[in-house]
Each structure stands twice: as C-alpha cells, then as structure tokens.
Amino acid sequence: MKFLSAPWRWDFISSSGKQKGCIFCKIPKDLSRDSLICYLGDEFFVILNKYPYSSGHLMIVPYDHINSPEKISPESSTELWDLMNRAISILKKNFSPDGFNIGMNIGGAAGAGIKEHTHLHVVPRWNGDANYMGVIGDTKVVSYDIYHVYEKMKEGFSK
C-alpha cells in the first residue's frame, strides 16, 4: 500500500480538536478578507479553505448545522448545485485550472475533518500540481495568494 503525505494539512488537523463547537457555525457571516467568505447565499455560504489542497480550494457550507447531505431540502439542494456551478465558472475564468475535484466527506471514516457540519469541496486542479514537493520536500506549492483568490471569487460571485 502506498501513502500520500500531506504535511501542509498538519496545522488544520492538530488545531481542529482544540476548538469547542462547530467552526462553521462560529465563522462570522461577513464578506471580509479575514473571514475568507466569498459569497453569502440564502441557505449556504462560499468560503475559501484556509488550508487548501490547491489554490482556489473552496467550500460551500450550509448555514444549518447538519451532518449529512440527505438532510438538505430539495429546494436548498438547488442552491447548492447552482453555487457549485458558479464557483467552477469563476475559477475557470480567473485561474484556468485543468480540472476539478468536487465532493463531500461524510463521517469520520470517510475523512471528514469537520464531520458534524456537512460541506461541499470544490478543488481546482492543474496538471502537475501533485508532485514531489509535498511528499519529499515537505513543502506545499500554492500558486496564488489566498487573498488574491478571495478578491477574484468575491468579485465573480457579485456579478
């Protein structure tokens, strides 16, 4: 069996257990650089991942504290799907990724870091973005500054 090392995720893993309560419920619902929230919808907000797998890695998070997508109403699911498609379009326009990983980790066994509050990941990918640097060099290369990505995403969602 092969293992892929992701040492840049350690800050998230080691600090997540120290906080009391749900991090998504505690995030201020404002459009400020510090919040990294790019868009506030009716049922969901869009936030950049503070510990991204790649530049532009964002999450679409329901305001409701729910732990699984089957608890999202059909009407709310429409907004979730729309925000995912808008995020993809904005990322394509501004950063030209070669592809995307999109998904949810539901439950601890599936790798959910925040298992009590479901959220959808949208991860832009570029050819060659998973290379030896993270595995051998203990270094993560992030091509864009997170605040640059934030400004582009916020601007894209405002249109």
Lowest mean pLDDT among 8-17, 74-83, 103-112: 8-17
Task: Give the mean pLDDT of 131-159.
Answer: 72
User: Percentage of the chain surpassing pLDDT 70?
Assistant: 79
Which residues have a Cβ under 8 Å from the Cβ of 30 and sit 6 or more positions away?
A: 37
29 burial level (CB within 10 Å; 0-12, 13-18, 19+): exposed
Is the per-residue pLDDT at 137 higher than 80?
A: no
pLDDT computed for residue 79 by the predictor: 97
User: Percentage of the chain surpassing pLDDT 90?
Assistant: 57
Q: Which residue blocks in 96-144 are alpha helix, DSSP H? A: 132-135
Lowest mean pLDDT among 14-28, 69-83, 130-144: 130-144
Residue 130 confidence class, pLDDT cut points 50, 70, 90: low
Give me the count of residues in the chain.
Answer: 159
How far, in Å, CA of 99 to CA of 109, rounded?
26
pLDDT computed for residue 119 by the predictor: 96
- The CB density around residue 121, as the number of other CB atoms within 10 Å, is 18
Question: Does residue 65 have an active-site annotation?
Answer: no
Report, in angstroms and rounded to the nearest whole number, the Rg of the chain calculated over CA atoms: 16
Task: Give the mean pLDDT of 102-112.
Answer: 90
Is the per-residue pLDDT at 22 higher than 60?
A: yes
Return the SS3 of 45: strand
What domains are there in the chain, each with its CATH number?
32-157 (3.30.428.10)
Q: How does DSSP assign 16-47, residue by residue?
A: HTTS-S-HHHHS--S--TTTTEEEE-SSEEEE
User: Strand locations in 43-146, DSSP E?
Assistant: 44-48, 58-62, 99-103, 120-125
User: Which range has the top average pLDDT, 17-21, 76-80, 111-115, 126-130?
Assistant: 76-80
Q: Measured in whole angstroms, how far is the alpha carbon of residue 28 from the centre of its chain? A: 16
Is the per-residue pLDDT at 156 higher than 80?
A: yes
pLDDT computed for residue 9 by the predictor: 58
Q: Which of 65, 117, 119, 121 is catalytic?
A: 119
Q: Which residue blocks in the chain are alpha helix, DSSP H? A: 10-16, 23-26, 74-95, 132-135, 146-157
